[in-house]
Amino acid sequence: MIELFDVTRRFGDETAVDRISLRVERGEFCVLVGTSGCGKSTTLRMINRLIEHSEGEIHLDGQPIRDFPEDQLRRRIGYAIQSTGLFPHWTVARNIGLVPRLLQWSGSRIQDRVEALMALLGLPPEFAHKYPHQLSGGQAQRVGVARALAADPDILLMDEPFGALDPITRQTLQVELRDLQDRLDKTIVFVTHDMDEALALADRLVVMHEGRIVQQGSPIELLRAPADDFVASLLGGDDRGLKEAALVRVGERMQPITPKVGEAPWVSREATLNQALSLMLWHQTRHLLVVDDADAPVGRLSLDALLQKAHHE
Ligand SMILES: Nc1ncnc2c1ncn2[C@@H]1O[C@H](COP(=O)(O)OP(=O)(O)OP(=O)(O)O)[C@@H](O)[C@H]1O
Based on the fold, state whether residues 224 and 265 are members of the same structural domain. Answer: no
For residue 262, the model assigns a pLDDT of 64
For residue 263, the model assigns a pLDDT of 63
Q: Is the CB of 192 under 6 A from ligand 1?
A: no
Based on the fold, state whether residues 154 and 18 are members of the same structural domain. Answer: yes
Distance 52 CA to ligand 1 centre (A): 14
Domain boundary among 243, 262, 285: 243
The domain that contains 88 carries what CATH number?
3.40.50.300
Own/partner long-range contacts of 81-85 (Cβ < 8 Å, ≥24 apart): 81/144, 81/158, 81/159, 81/160, 81/161, 82/159, 82/160, 82/161, 82/162, 82/163, 82/164, 84/132, 84/140, 84/141, 84/143, 84/144, 85/144
For residue 164, the model assigns a pLDDT of 65
User: What is d(CA 18, CA 25) in angstroms, rounded to the nearest whole number?
Assistant: 22
Please name which of 91, 36, 77, 73 lies closest in space to residue 189, comparing C-alpha atoms: 77
Nearest ligand 1 atom to the CA of 38 is 21
pLDDT per residue, tens digit, the chain (313 aa), is 999 999 999 999 999 999 999 999 999 999 999 999 999 999 999 999 999 999 999 999 999 999 998 878 888 899 988 777 889 999 999 999 998 998 889 999 999 999 998 988 888 999 999 999 999 888 888 899 889 888 888 899 999 988 767 787 778 778 878 887 888 788 999 999 889 999 999 999 999 999 999 999 999 999 999 999 999 999 998 888 888 888 888 988 888 876 566 667 899 999 999 999 999 999 999 999 999 988 888 898 989 888 875 554 4
Based on the fold, state whether residues 236 and 284 are members of the same structural domain. Answer: no
Domain membership flag for residue 44: yes
**What is the per-residue DSSP string for 165-194?**
S-HHHHHHHHHHHHHHHHHH--EEEEE-S-
Q: Is the CB of 215 under 6 A from ligand 1?
A: no
Based on the fold, state whether residues 298 and 173 are members of the same structural domain. Answer: no
The domain that contains 299 carries what CATH number?
3.10.580.10
Ligand 1 pocket, mutate which of 36, 38, 42 (most atoms under 8 A from CB): 42
User: What is d(CA 135, CA 142) in angstroms, rounded to the nearest whole number?
Assistant: 10
Question: Which residues are bridge partners to 22 per DSSP?
Answer: 4
Per the structure, the count of domains in the chain is 2
Based on the fold, state whether residues 257 and 208 are members of the same structural domain. Answer: no
Strand arrangement, sheet containing 204-209 = 77-81, 155-159, 187-191, 29-34, 204-209, 212-217
Based on the fold, state whether residues 142 and 272 are members of the same structural domain. Answer: no
Domain boundary among 243, 262, 289: 243
User: What is d(CA 17, CA 46) in angstroms, rounded to the nearest whole number?
Assistant: 10
CA 19 to chain centre: 24
**What is the per-residue DSSP string for 84-147?**
----TTS-HHHHHTHHHHHTT--HHHHHHHHHHHHHHTT--GGGGG--GGGS-HHHHHHHHHHH
Based on the fold, state whether residues 170 and 56 are members of the same structural domain. Answer: yes
Q: Which residue, judged by its Cα, is nearest atom 1 of ligand 1?
A: 11
Q: Is the ipTM of this complex over 0.90?
A: yes
Phi-psi region of 180 (alpha: psi -120 to 50; beta: other; left: phi over 0): alpha
Domain boundary among 214, 243, 272: 243
Domain span holding position 168: 2-243
For residue 85, the model assigns a pLDDT of 81
Based on the fold, state whether residues 232 and 252 are members of the same structural domain. Answer: no
Q: Which residue, judged by its Cα, is nearest atom 7 of ligand 1?
A: 11
Based on the fold, state whether residues 143 and 267 are members of the same structural domain. Answer: no
Based on the fold, state whether residues 272 and 221 are members of the same structural domain. Answer: no
Domain membership flag for residue 313: no
